[in-house]
Amino acid sequence: AGAVPAAAKSSWGPFLKSIASFNGDLASLTAPPFILSSTSLTEYSGYWAEHPEIFVAPAQENDPQKRALLVLKWFLTTLKQQYSSRSEKLGSEKKPLNPFLGELFLGKWKDPTGEIGETQLISEQVSHHPPVTAYAILNEKHGVKLEGYNGQKASFSGGTISVKQVGHAKYHLREFDEDYLITLPSLHIEGIVYGSPYVELNRGSTIHSSTGYIAQIDYSGKGWITGKKNTFSATLKKEGSKDILYAINGQWSDGFTIKEGKSKKELETYNAKTTEITPLYVAPIEEQDPLESRRAWAKVQESITTGDLETTGTEKSKIENEQRELRKKEREEGREWERRYFTRVMDDPVFTRLAESPGIAAEEGKTDGIWVFDEKKFSQVAEKARAGGEARAEEAANTVA
């Protein structure tokens, strides 16, 4: 396709210009067309539970120390999809669609076996300036709930874009009334100058449990020992103790080995490449709420896929203008957009208690509040949907009668 190189060459100008005046807002990057993804950033929340069986495993483990290890293992198994699934599937990292305020992405991981039960994904763009996505992943059968939110603070230097993630994830086990506070990795985008960007993780993540276990994960990128990309080393310790209970080493995009801290006995090797992903079920577009990503962006997604830049531009502007109108109306009426599933609180006791642990740096995002999943709003939405469904059924029955 002769066209691509020309388009590629011509579109470098705008991109390099946008990089030169980069103000930290990733959405302002004018990425070359072949970098544009038709996937909205709201969909990235799904990367947290594409192995539902691993996501619920801690709920079935009675020993608190082994449970903490299973939560650490689950977190590590999410990294490949979170940070390298686009590169692996599409050949390079892509620039996702920048979600509008109130945009929803809803789905579920079904379970034919009946052992795992259904796992539900709720993702909502709770802020547009700056972009913040909040999400909840719920498995009723095992009483597992993950809730969290994330935003990005980016900077450009030395040919790479560095991204600090603002926000955190909180994993809750109902049966044991246990919480795990997870900090988000920093990352940088390598390979930009070669036109095939990909993510490398930096620094570290911490998982601090209410049972007093601390997992520390260090991402070393091109490990100076192994020279392999996406390398990490992790340890699980009891708060206040130097003893390593478990050590995990490997590459988050390939595989890793779990060893006992003292005996160095190998307990398990996880293969990230061969472990099957469970596909997320998303309702057909005609059944979706107008605010759901794939319905709201349908025309833009279509034109990105067919490479029709013209239509991509006009359809995007339509959405942006609608949004500007809504914000204007809200300002005039002195109200704010009503988030459907999440609420911003200035303090979350679990977060505060667990964030005090030595491994967790003060959360920058904490200043303007913490986004939490609002069970009340969730049940109201479910109730309204049920009532709506019954009303439609009633109506249908009446018209038939």
Ligand X SMILES: CCC(=O)OC[C@H](C)CC[C@H]1O[C@H]2C[C@H]3[C@@H]4CC=C5C[C@@H](O)CC[C@]5(C)[C@H]4CC[C@]3(C)[C@H]2[C@@H]1C
Residue 149 near residue 182, CB atoms below 8 Å: no
SS3 9: helix
71 binds ligand X (CB under 6 A): no
127 binds ligand X (CB under 6 A): no
Nearest to 235 by CA among 266, 271, 259, 265: 259
Q: Select 93 or 103, whichever has its Cβ closest to ligand X.
A: 93
Choice from 161, 207, 272, 372 touching ligand X (CB under 6 A) = 161
32 binds ligand X (CB under 6 A): yes
95 binds ligand X (CB under 6 A): yes
Question: What is the Cα–Cα distance from 10 to 12, expressed in whole angstroms?
Answer: 6
Token reading at 248: 């995990």
* Rounded (5°) CA angle 375-285-44: 55
207 binds ligand X (CB under 6 A): no
132 binds ligand X (CB under 6 A): no
Question: What is the Cα–Cα distance from 244 to 345, expressed in whole angstroms?
Answer: 36
Query: What does residue 85 show for φ and ψ, rounded to 5 degrees?
Result: -70, -35
Cα separations (Å) of 49 from 72, 79, 138, 164? 13, 11, 10, 22
Listed ranges 31-39, 263-271, 296-304, 366-374: which one lies at the site for ligand X (CB under 6 A): 31-39
150 binds ligand X (CB under 6 A): yes
152 binds ligand X (CB under 6 A): yes
Q: Select 93 or 374, whichever has its Cβ closest to ligand X.
A: 93
Token reading at 395: 């109506």
Cα separations (Å) of 232 from 114, 202, 229, 254, 299? 34, 10, 9, 11, 40
146 binds ligand X (CB under 6 A): no
Query: Please, what is the minimum distance in Å from the beta carbon of residue 196 to ligand X?
Result: 7
195 binds ligand X (CB under 6 A): yes
Query: Please, what is the minimum distance in Å from the beta carbon of residue 156 to ligand X?
Result: 10
Q: How many residues does the chain have?
A: 401
282 binds ligand X (CB under 6 A): no
Question: What is the Cα–Cα distance from 54 to 139, expressed in whole angstroms?
Answer: 12
Nearest to 150 by CA among 180, 182, 179: 182
Question: What is the Cα–Cα distance from 187 to 221, expressed in whole angstroms?
Answer: 10
181 binds ligand X (CB under 6 A): no
49 binds ligand X (CB under 6 A): no
232 binds ligand X (CB under 6 A): no
234 binds ligand X (CB under 6 A): no
Choice from 39, 44, 288, 297 touching ligand X (CB under 6 A) = 44
Choice from 22, 24, 33, 47 touching ligand X (CB under 6 A) = 47
219 binds ligand X (CB under 6 A): no
Q: Select 165 or 251, whichever has its Cβ closest to ligand X.
A: 165
Q: How far is CA 384 from the centre of its chain?
A: 27
Binding site for ligand X (CB under 6 A): 15, 26, 29, 31-32, 35, 44, 47, 82-83, 93-95, 150, 152, 161, 163, 165, 189, 192, 195, 197, 199
